[in-house]
């Protein structure tokens, strides 16, 4: 049986995109770029290329390395321009028909699109489009964009895409490939990242700079919120098709999602996480012998906590790196081993010690409870916990697959109650202003918040139309993956 592990309760990464225009190794570079973005989505991956005559598409369930490392697969992706995607589904299920890039034949030629984000009015749009005659091939929230482009009254693809995107709500960093163009666009709030790079004179668009590093491309700049870049053989052109708005980049990218070695909106993610740990040590100090990270996601904040507090840092929990997000679970007994499949206490180090565990976030609290128990059983005398983000009280609708609000422990329990539920001697969270300070701000601007922080504050920066209108979008065809 292939089942989801006990870790499936948490915030999942989202998706990653990568595109290159005008390079003889386009498909191989894209596969490498997607490999660097694997942390953003492990369910499926896909690449579409164009060779001047035809488009080629390879979309597979599974990891990039498993599916896109073979010469025959890359050999089928002919041409000097490609776009690719790694997916963690937020809408429509994980089946192959929802794996991106999505592709459509328009009157004006082929069109492939890869999307990071999630649309909050996709169901409503789907219903309206179906009533108008559209036939949907997937249940992905990305597909309505294709139908909106197809039915647009505008002439040129850039105007048609703008027309389509002006009707969608939510978050998107998109890249699209046509016969003549590679297009990149970020939603007006810039919730998800997108950067421009350059390799051997060929422009690259991708989610994070770590995907530029792996192929040796230079980082050129972030695509701005609300900006559309159109790359052709003549170069890179920039458009501002939407009304300007104050940006609301996802603060959780800094806390958890982005890779620590990426530069995101001008900040190094690792440096921000260390700064977050330093803020946390000032806001919620702990009188202990050791700072222990919950690996890997809690490690940079724990280093920052230790440096700022002067308390020694040590690896009191060791992680098994070969545990995937989903794997074969032969029996229930093994499934119930839960967190031990992934994490193991470093007993000699913990015995008799007062320790503070530092993790990036508490979602349902189930992992934290098991880790605390495990560290106590390994002999720790006191176990305190400090969390490098505010309590997660609300779900995300912008490209991150989160449990619903009622599954989030902080939505119904106070910090003291969470502390006793997970069994710690003391529990402290970073405040929302502390998080903003770690990002170099004086604090959260209540009138015009500088980031999206809705999962901490409930302050959603766009309408949540499908949710508020309870739009029904039942899956009519259920396919095997
Ligand atoms: O409060 P809980 O619901 O129990 O879970 C919280 C944990 O879940 C995430 O890690 P996860 O184990 O998913 O993966 P990671 O290795 O990416 O940190 C997160 O980083 C916390 O460590
Ligand atoms: N996590 C994402 O960004 C996913 C993109 C898109 N919403 C999908 O479900 O495929
Ligand atoms: S709700 Fe949270 S995870 Fe989602 S975009 Fe906003 S800050 Fe990021
Ligand atoms: Mg974690």
Q: What pLDDT does 198 receive?
A: 98
Instruction: Specify the CATH architecture of the domain 268-446.
Output: 3-Layer(aba) Sandwich (3.40)
Q: Which atom of ligand 3 is nearest to the CA of 395?
A: 1
Would you say the pTM of this structure is higher than 0.90?
A: yes
Tell whether the model's pLDDT for residue 332 goes beyond 60: no
Whether 88 lines ligand 2, by a CB cut-off of 6 Å, is yes
Q: Is 268-446 in the same CATH topology as 9-248?
A: no
Alpha carbon of 254 to ligand 4 centroid (Å): 14
- Among the bound ligands, the one closest to the CA of 370: 1
15 is known as an active-site residue: yes
Residue whose structure tokens are 């995907």: 211
**Ligand 2 binding pocket includes 358 (Cβ within 6 Å):** no
Task: State the residue for tokens 């920052």.
Answer: 304
DSSP state of 313: B
| CB-count burial class (<10 Å; 0-12, 13-18, 19+) for 156 | exposed
Domain segments of the chain: what residues? 9-248, 268-446
- The domain at 9-248 falls in which architecture? 4-Layer Sandwich (3.60)
**Which residues does ligand 1 sit against, CB inside 6 Å?**
7, 9-10, 256, 294, 296-297, 359-368
**What phi and psi, each to the nearest 5 degrees, are found at residue 383?**
-125, 115
Residue 91 pLDDT: 73
Alpha-carbon distance of 161 to 228, in angstroms, equals 10
Q: For residue 452, which ligand has an atom nearest its CA?
A: 3
For residue 455 and ligand 3, the question of a CB distance below 6 A is answered with yes
pLDDT tens profile 448-476: 999 999 999 999 999 999 999 987 665 56
Task: Give yes or no for a contact between 62 and 95, defined as CB atoms under 8 angstroms apart.
Answer: no
Select from 87, 82, 97 the least CA-distant residue to 176: 82
Mean of the per-residue pLDDT values of the chain: 92
The separation between the first and the last C-alpha atoms of the chain, rounded to the nearest angstrom, is: 13
Cβ atoms 303, 358 nearer than 8 A = no
- Residue 130 parent element (H or E): helix 122-131
Find the DSSP H helices in 39-121. Answer: 64-67, 71-76
Sorting pLDDT into bands at 50, 70 and 90, what band is 402?
confident
Tell me phi and psi for residue 55, to 5 degrees: -95, 150
Q: Where are the alpha helices (DSSP H) in 311-431?
A: 332-335, 347-350, 366-377, 409-412, 415-422
pLDDT tens-digit series, residues 216-256: 999 999 999 999 999 999 999 999 999 999 999 999 999 99
């Amino acid at each position: 049986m292939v089942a989801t592990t006990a870790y499936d309760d948490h915030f999942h990464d989202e998706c990653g995109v990568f595109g290159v225009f005008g390079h003889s190794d386009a498909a191989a570079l894209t596969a490498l770029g997607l490999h660097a973005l694997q942390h953003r989505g492990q369910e499926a991956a896909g690449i579409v290329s164009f060779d001047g005559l035809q488009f080629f598409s390879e979309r597979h369930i599974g990891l990039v390395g498993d599916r896109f490392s073979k010469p025959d697969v890359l050999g089928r992706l002919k041409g000097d321009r490609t776009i690719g995607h790694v997916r963690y589904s937020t809408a429509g299920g994980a089946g192959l028909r929802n794996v991106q890039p999505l592709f459509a034949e328009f009157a004006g030629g082929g069109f492939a699109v890869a999307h990071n984000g999630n649309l909050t009015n996709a169901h409503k749009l789907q219903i309206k489009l179906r009533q108008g005659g559209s036939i949907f091939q997937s249940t992905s929230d990305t597909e309505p964009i294709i139908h909106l482009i197809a039915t647009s009254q505008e002439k040129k693809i850039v105007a048609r895409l703008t027309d389509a995107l002006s009707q969608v709500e939510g978050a998107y960093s998109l890249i699209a490939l046509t016969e003549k163009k590679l297009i990149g666009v970020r939603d007006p709030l810039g919730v998800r990242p997108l950067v421009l790079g350059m390799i051997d004179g060929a422009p690259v668009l991708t989610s994070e700079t770590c995907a530029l590093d792996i192929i040796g491309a230079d980082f050129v700049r972030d695509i701005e919120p609300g900006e559309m870049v159109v790359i052709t053989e003549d170069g890179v052109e920039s458009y501002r098709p939407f009304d300007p708005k104050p940006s609301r980049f996802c603060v959780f990218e800094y806390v958890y999602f982005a890779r620590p070695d990426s530069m995101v909106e001008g900040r190094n993610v690792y440096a921000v996480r260390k700064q977050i740990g330093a803020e946390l040590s000032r806001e919620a100090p702990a009188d202990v012998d050791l700072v222990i990270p919950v690996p890997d996601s809690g490690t940079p904040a724990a280093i920052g906590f230790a440096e700022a507090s002067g308390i020694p840092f040590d690896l009191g929990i060791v992680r098994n790196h070969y545990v995937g997000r989903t794997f074969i679970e032969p029996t229930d007994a093994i499934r119930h081993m839960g967190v031990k499949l992934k994490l193991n206490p470093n007993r000699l180090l913990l015995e008799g010690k007062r320790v503070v565990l530092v993790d990036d976030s508490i979602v349902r609290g189930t992992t934290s409870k098991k880790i605390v128990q495990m560290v106590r059983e390994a002999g720790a005398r006191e176990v305190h916990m400090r969390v490098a983000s505010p309590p997660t009280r609300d779900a995300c609708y912008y490209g991150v697959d989160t449990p619903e609000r009622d599954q989030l422990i902080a939505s119904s329990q106070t910090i003291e109650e969470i502390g006793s539920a997970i069994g710690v001697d003391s529990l402290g969270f970073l405040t929302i202003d502390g998080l903003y300070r770690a990002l170099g701000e004086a604090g959260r601007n209540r009138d015009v918040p500088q980031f999206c922080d809705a999962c901490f504050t409930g302050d959603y920066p766009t309408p949540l139309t499908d949710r508020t209108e309870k739009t029904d979008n039942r899956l009519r065809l259920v396919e095997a993956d």
